[in-house]
Chain A
C-alpha cells in the first residue's frame, strides 16, 4: 500500500531546518518510501536509497518524468498562446543535458570521455599545487583576527583548481562566479522558483554556455594541457563529444567545482571547531584526516539529495513507485540511517567500514570525488594544524538557500595567528 507521508519534503527548505536537517531526516526515515503531495516519492533509508541508485529501472533523465513532461507541455502551450496573440516569443534554446542528467549508453560515453582526461596522474599532479594554494590563502592571515573560511579559502580553492584543470583562465572566474549559484539551484527539487528566478537561471545558463563556447573555440585553436582540450580531442568508440556536449559537460564540471567542495571544507571546519577534542585529535594524528573526511561525507555531506525518475513500476519497501514518478533520494538521510551505521548521529572521525553516500553510488558516482578528497585532506589538515586557538564567531553560521547543495554561506572564525 502506498503511504502518504505526514512529512512534507519542502520543510527541508525552511530555514529553521537548514542549519540542522538531520532530525527532519530521522522523521523521514519512519516512512522509507513516502508519497509527497506533488506525486513524487521521497526515499530516505540507506538500503532503499542504495538499491534504487543501482536499479536499472531508474533514470536520471528528467525529460522522462511525468512532471517534466507536463511542465514542457505547459511551456509549449503558453508559447503557442503567446504566438497566437501576436507576441514576440524567443525560440527555446536546444540544450543537451549534462551527463549527470543522462542515462546509459549516452551517459556512459560522455563520462568515459571525462574520465579518460581526469586521470589519476592529473589529479596527483594537482596535489602540490593544491598545497600551494591553501598555503597562500592562509598566509594572508598570518596575524590572526578573523577569517571567513568560505570566502577566504573553501570557495577560492576548488574554483582555482577546477579552472586550472579545465583550462579556464583564472581572470575569467569573476564573470561566472555570479552564474554558478543560480545554476546550482536547478539541482534542488524542493526549490520553488519564481518566474523571476527562472529567468535568472536561464540567463545565467545562456551566458555561461556562450562563454564556454568561446573558450572552447580558443582552446581548439590553441590546445593546452587541460581537461577541455583533452575532451575536445578525445575519441570514443561510440563517438567523440559534440560541441554542444562539450559545453554542457564543461558547465557541469565548472558548477560542480564551485558549489560542492566548498561545502565539504566548510562543514569540516565547522565540525572540528565545534569540538575542541576533535580538533586536538586531528592535530595529534595527521592521518586521522583520511577517515575524518570520509566521516564528514557521511555526517554532513555537501550534496543532500538527488532526483530520479521511475522507468517502470518499482516495488520497494512495501510501496509501488509508479512509472514516470519523480523519486527524491535523500542521500544524506541514508547516510544517517541507524539501521546501517552504528551511532549514526555521532561524528566518529575514525569510523571504520564507512560506506557513506556522500558521493552517491552506482553509475553516477561523483566524477570529481578524487579531487574533492585531495582538496579536503589538504585544506582541513592545514586548517586544523595551522590556526592558533580558532573559535567560531557565529554558530550556527548563515546557510545558503540551496538545500540540495547544502552549506554555510559564511563561516567567520576568530583566531590568534598561524603556525608555520
Chain B
C-alpha cells in the first residue's frame, strides 16, 4: 500500500523506534486506545501473543474458549461502548472460526478489527499447515480486509483498519499478518489515519433535501418515524428526542434501534417488524409520511415490499448511499450522518402534537394488550412465560440493565418487553440471527460497560452453541448474569413448524443436560426456577449477586410469539394469534 492514498495526522506516539512486527501490532492497538482484546492463540500468531505477554499490564487479553466467542465478545464490547472491538486468532481454523462473528458484525454494522496470523510469506499458496485463504473467505463479509506480508506495512494498514471500522457506516475489518512479518524488525512510527481518497465516510448533506424533508414533515397529517441502529451508531439519541418532542410524531424502532429513546417516552410507540408491535406495523400502511432514520428496511421490518407503505411519502435519512432505494423507494433521500441531518432539520420543523393520530396508536396498543401482552406478562395459566421473566428483569434492574439476547423466541420476547432507559442497552444479533451470540457477547458487553448490569437472555438451543464460554466467565470472573429460558425446544423453528408445517416437529425437540451442574462445574452460582412464586425472588437474588450468576427458568414448552407477520405477508396482515 502506498502512502499517497492516506492523509496523515501526527499521533502523540509518533516517535520512531526499532521493533518487531509483532510488537508494532501492540503499539498500534495502544495508540488506537484499545484496552481489551479477545482471542485465542496458535502457531501462526505466536509472536503477537509473546508481545501480549510482555504488555499484559497495558492491554488486557481475554482468552475465550473458541474463536467465534472472541468475535462475539468483541462485538458485545463494541456495541455497548461505541468503541472498536478487537478479536485475534491464528491462521486456518482459528481464522475460519471468526467468520460467523465477522459476518454478524458486517450485517449489524459493528466496528471490529480482527487480526489473524498467517503462515510465513514464503509458504503462502503451498497448502502449509493451518494455511487458509482467510482474506478470500472473509471478503464478502468484511468492510475491508488486507494481508500484511512485510512488517513495514503494519502501522499504515492497522491505522487504516481502525479508521475504516469506526467511520461512516461502521463494520468489521480483517487484517491477516504473515508470521515472517510478525518477526521482522523495522523502524516503527504510528500515525492515525483520518481519510482515504477512495472512501467517503460521510456523504455531504444536501440543504435542499433537508428543506424538502422539512416541508413534507410540516405538512404531514399522519407522520410516523421508524428509527434504526443508525441513531445509536451516529450518537444521535438527543437529536432524535428533540425531533420527536418538537414534532410530536409517533416514533417506532427496529430491533437494533431499541433503547435509543426510553421505552417509557410517551412518543415511543414500540417495535416494528415480524414480531413487533401491532400499532406501528399496521399504521405503517396508514401513515402519510414515513420518516426512516438510520435504518435499512430489512425484510423482517417490511414484510412484503409491494404492499409496504405504498400510500406514504418516504423520507430516508441514511449514511450509506447503497441503502437508498435498495428495498424501499425514497421520495426524499437525505444522505449524511443522521446526527448532523437531524441537527440541520430541527430548526425548520414546526411544533405539533398529532393527538388524533396518536390515539390510533393507543387504540391499537389496547388491542395488542388484550390479545397478546396481557397473556405474556400477567399469565393466568400454570406454565411460566418468557415475557414474565423479562418483566421481572425490568423490575429488578429498574430498566437500567444491558440485555444481551440470543436468537429465537426469547430474543423476540426480550426485545418486545425489555424496558430501557439508557441507549446501547439492547445487544442482539439482528441481521444475521446468530444463535450462540449472547453468551460471549455478554462477556464483551460487561467488559465494555463494567459499571452496568449485563443480563444475557438465552434459549436452551443457542446457549449450547457457545456454552463453553462459561469457561471464559469463570477464568476472568466477569460478573455477567445469565438467564436461560428453557422450553426444551428450538422454539422459533417449532413455532413455524406448528403454524406452517402442520406441527411436524422435525429436529426441534431438545434433550438437555443438567444446566445447573454445568454452571456449577465452572464454579458459577446457579439456580433453577420452575414455579411462578419463585421467579421474582430468584431474579432479585441474581441481580443482587456481585458475581456471575446462572438462572435457568423452565418456561412453557409450546408458547408462541405474537404478533407475527408471516414471511412474505404485508405489515397490514400482522397476526395477533
* Mutual binders A and B: no
Residues of B whose CB lies within 8 Å of any CB of A are: none
Residues of A within 8 A of B (CB): none
